[in-house]
Amino acid sequence: MPEHIMAVEFPSEVTNKILAHYDVYARVLPWRSPPGSPPPDPYAIWLSEIMLQQTTVAAVKPYFEHFLKRWPDVTSLASAPDADVMAAWAGLGYYARARNLLACARAIVAEYGGGFPDDEEALKALPGVGPYTAAAITAIAFGHRATVVDGNVERVIARLHAVVTPMPQAKPELKRLAQCLTPDKRSGDFAQAMMDLGATICTPRNPNCQACPITGNCKGQAEAELYPVKPARKAKPHRSGTAWWIECNGEVLLVRRPEKGLLGGMRALPSCGWNGDPASHPVDGMFQSVGSITHVFTHFTLTLDIVMQSIGKNAATALDGEWWAIDRLDEAGLPSLFEKAAGAVKKWRLSHGP
């Protein structure tokens, strides 16, 4: 352990305080069993953890409940058509997770007969299951000792120990320090207790230190918002391109994006120029510019010019893609970027007439 990091005194005392607080104040979540109860279904834990990656609990809840109702176990999900799963995921973002979700479900059925392995290393070998998710399933679903470290846990640990190493270099240190607190028993409850602590009390801004069960042990409490120490901010690059709204007889042309890459496998409006592809017009003829939209991805910001064009039936049959009724477009499962583009067309029509 680096010299500048000193472990808190009485780690078992800290662990017990966190668990005692969780026993009283645990959040009620659709994928979670109450404190001290038998572990929940591994499928529910796996599904929720994949959805929760870089996504808020509030956003995940309705998607989780919809998926669980439509595909109640890993076998039913594994047999689902790719297009149905991608459409059900639309709006949740980070669409590679949905592709990995299907790949993982099919691997579990093919390799384990539909039962999740309870070994952390075996779980990490599955598609889309990294160290955090493997540890979460191991601890929460199977009750085995595993140290679960997400962004909330990193923040709690960084403040508890006043870790001065900036992120992301601090991650290994934070993991080691979290391991010192992880108990042999109730490690699943402890993992969820730490997540709750970071999500509801030890928040990024204005942490409620007075309500924290370990406030007396926290080395960074006086300057809590300094931790974890942030890296120097880099400006996001900006890209631009064009999206095409091509309609015929009350229907709009949708295409499937390539399986690999951003928004892979999703239905979308035809677009060009922003993903490294050359700018091109799908159809010759007159077109109308209806404005532009801006969308922020993880690694870049995108501005798309929206171009609208109406064509006849003969021209429509020559285009690759699927024609979707405009008044049912909300059923197409468009990702947020192209929902914005469709919204721009609707807004333009309201102000300019049909």
Query: Which residue out of 3, 9, 13, 49 is catalytically annotated?
Result: 49
How far is the C-alpha of 200 from the C-alpha of 23, rounded, in Å? 15
| Residues 6+ away with beta carbon under 8 Å from 187 | 139, 143, 144, 145, 146, 147, 148
Closest CA to 162 of 199, 217, 206, 232: 217
| Inter-residue contact 293 to 344 (CB < 8 Å) | yes
Q: Which helix (H) or strand (E) holds 303?
A: strand 301-310
Question: Smallest Cα–Cα separation from 144: which of 156, 134, 131, 130?
Answer: 134
Instruction: Give the CA angle between residues 217, 222, 225 to the nearest 5°.
Output: 105
Dihedral through CA 321, CA 256, CA 249, CA 312, nearest 10? -40
* Cβ-based burial of 86 (10 A; exposed 0-12, middle 13-18, buried ≥19): buried
- 49 catalytic? Reply is yes
Closest CA to 342 of 354, 352, 330: 330
Non-local CB neighbours of 125 within 8 Å, separated by 6+ positions: none
Backbone CA torsion sign across 153, 155, 159, 162 = positive
Active site residues: 49
